[in-house]
């Protein structure tokens, strides 16, 4: 079903082109033959006319020669005339044979007539040659005027008829050529009409089909754009939800669970103050130890989930804490530099923090680096984050971990870009750009006040207790 329009298009266009080509070639051939026909017709007419003319002049001349021979004073003079006459006769015979070779049907009767007349004419002439001197003197005038001239006139009349017939044939041929030409014209007109009609149909079909296809493509494109957008939205919401969850969990652990441990510590201290028996003291010491350890672990867990400095003091203190922690754990030398004025919006702050956290963890785990430089800058309406290590590097085309995908996702949610520049043996430069116009910078006083005036500790997020 998918291929049908294609087949129809190819067949339609191919057929149309073939039709046009055939029509042109046919017309050319037809014109050529028409021209040839016409030329042949003319040539044939002229040739026949010439032959007829020859016959006619021969008949005239023969009459003249016969008269001269009859009027010649002596026999010997007549003989010479007779020889010439014989030549004329042979020539006439030849001309008659030539003319007879292509006779029109309606010419047959007059031609036969002419032929027999001519034959009879020669025979009559033959008779005069046998005449003696006396006979010639006696009959010659009568013969000439009563026999020869009427015969000659009748022959010439026949020849005229034939000539008229020949002309008639030429005219008929012309009419035939005209007919043929008319038919060619008609054929060509029909062909043009058919071609135009076919072309128009084909064009209409093609246009409709293309419009349908375009419509479909547009619909598909919109669908895919739409689904891409909702996927993005979903992923952004997931990231936000996860971050929110971490923040809540971190704060809960820090403010409630750890505080409970600290209360246990305090109570143990109070009991110790009562100067208990040595056995009880030992138990209290043990409680203190366990509670202290628990408190530390909860605190570390809370920091790992989401460092409180990020919400309390902002990005740089959180990044510095992160750098110190990883440095302490792995021995990696991490420098953090920041050229920021004012505090970033929540989402940007979290994005930068998480990206740097992931990058530093990668440096510590995979890169075999000894030093890392983290830099956060604000310039030209964007935040530029770079993490450069001196580690082993890798081929970003081939290695694409989940962590890196996560960083890229986070950057993209905020309309930013994520780039990795690394080659095996050359270290790695990670670069994230986030578009951000610093609205806070215009009102610096407000910014510094609000950051640290109980905002993270709102009554809602902090149940009294």
Q: Give the footprint of another protein on this chain (CB under 8 A).
A: 254-255, 258-260, 262-263, 265-267, 269-270, 272-273, 291-292, 295-296, 299, 303, 307-309, 312-313, 317, 320-321, 324, 327-328, 333-335, 452-454, 456-459, 462, 464-465
220/333 with CB nearer another protein = 333
The span from the CA of 114 to the CA of 56, in Å, is: 11
The span from the CA of 355 to the CA of 406, in Å, is: 8
Q: How far is the CB of 239 from another protein (least distance, A)?
A: 25
Q: How far is the CB of 407 from another protein (least distance, A)?
A: 24
Contacts (Cβ under 8 Å, ≥6 apart) of 328: none
The span from the CA of 104 to the CA of 52, in Å, is: 14
- Show the tokens assigned to 370: 């000894």
73/463 with CB nearer another protein = 463
4/445 with CB nearer another protein = 445
158/315 with CB nearer another protein = 315
Q: How far is the CB of 280 from another protein (least distance, A)?
A: 17
Q: How far is the CB of 253 from another protein (least distance, A)?
A: 10
The span from the CA of 243 to the CA of 232, in Å, is: 16
37/262 with CB nearer another protein = 262
- Show the tokens assigned to 419: 């780039």
218/270 with CB nearer another protein = 270
Burial of 97: CB neighbours in 10 Å, binned 0-12, 13-18, 19+: exposed
Whole-number Cα distances in Å, 452 to 210, 276, 315, 343: 63, 44, 13, 11
Could you tell me which residues are beta bridge partners of residue 418?
A: 432
Q: How far is the CB of 456 from another protein (least distance, A)?
A: 8
Q: How far is the CB of 383 from another protein (least distance, A)?
A: 21
Contacts (Cβ under 8 Å, ≥6 apart) of 410: 239, 351, 354, 355
């Amino acid at each position: 079903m998918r291929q049908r329009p294609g087949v129809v298009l190819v067949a339609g266009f191919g057929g149309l082109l073939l039709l046009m080509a055939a029509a042109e070639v046919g017309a050319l051939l037809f014109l050529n033959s028409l021209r040839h026909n016409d030329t042949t017709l003319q040539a044939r007419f002229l040739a026949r006319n010439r032959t007829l003319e020859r016959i006619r002049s021969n008949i005239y001349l023969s009459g003249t020669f016969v008269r001269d021979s009859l009027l010649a004073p002596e026999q010997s003079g007549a003989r010479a005339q007779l020889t010439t006459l014989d030549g004329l006769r042979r020539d006439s015979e030849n001309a008659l044979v030539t003319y007879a070779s292509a006779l029109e049907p309606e010419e047959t009767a007059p031609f036969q007539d002419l032929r027999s007349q001519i034959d009879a004419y020669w025979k009559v002439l033959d008779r005069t040659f046998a005449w003696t001197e006396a006979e010639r003197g006696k009959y010659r005038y009568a013969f000439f005027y009563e026999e020869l001239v009427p015969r000659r006139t009748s022959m010439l009349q026949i020849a005229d008829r034939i000539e008229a017939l020949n002309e008639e044939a030429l005219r008929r041929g012309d009419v035939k050529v005209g007919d043929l030409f008319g038919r060619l014209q008609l054929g060509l007109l029909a062909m043009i009409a058919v071609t135009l009609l076919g072309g128009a149909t084909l064009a209409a079909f093609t246009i409709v089909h293309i419009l349908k296809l375009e419509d479909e493509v547009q619909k598909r494109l919109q669908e895919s754009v739409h689904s891409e957008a909702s996927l993005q939205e979903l992923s952004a919401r997931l990231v936000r939800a996860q971050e929110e969850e971490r923040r809540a969990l971190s704060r809960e652990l820090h403010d409630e669970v750890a505080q409970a441990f600290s209360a246990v510590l305090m109570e143990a201290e109070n009991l110790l103050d009562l100067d208990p028996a040595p056995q009880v003291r030992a138990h209290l010491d043990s409680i203190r130890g366990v509670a202290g350890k628990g408190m530390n672990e909860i605190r570390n867990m809370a920091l790992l989930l989401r460092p409180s400095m990020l919400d309390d003091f902002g990005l740089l203190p959180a990044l510095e804490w992160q750098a110190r922690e990883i440095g302490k754990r792995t021995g990696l030398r991490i420098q953090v530099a920041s050229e920021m004025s004012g505090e970033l919006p929540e989402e940007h702050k979290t994005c930068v923090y998480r990206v740097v956290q992931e990058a530093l963890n990668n440096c510590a785990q995979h890169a075999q680096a000894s030093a890392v430089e983290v830099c956060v800058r604000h310039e030209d309406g964007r935040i530029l984050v770079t993490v450069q290590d001196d580690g082993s590097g890798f081929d970003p085309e081939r290695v694409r971990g989940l962590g890196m995908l996560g960083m890229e996702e986070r950057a993209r949610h905020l309309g930013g870009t994520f780039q990795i520049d690394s080659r095996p043996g050359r270290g790695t430069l990670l670069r994230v750009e986030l578009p951000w116009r610093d609205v806070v910078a215009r009102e610096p006083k407000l910014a510094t006040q609000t950051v640290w005036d109980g905002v993270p500790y709102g009554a809602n997020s902090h149940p009294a207790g």
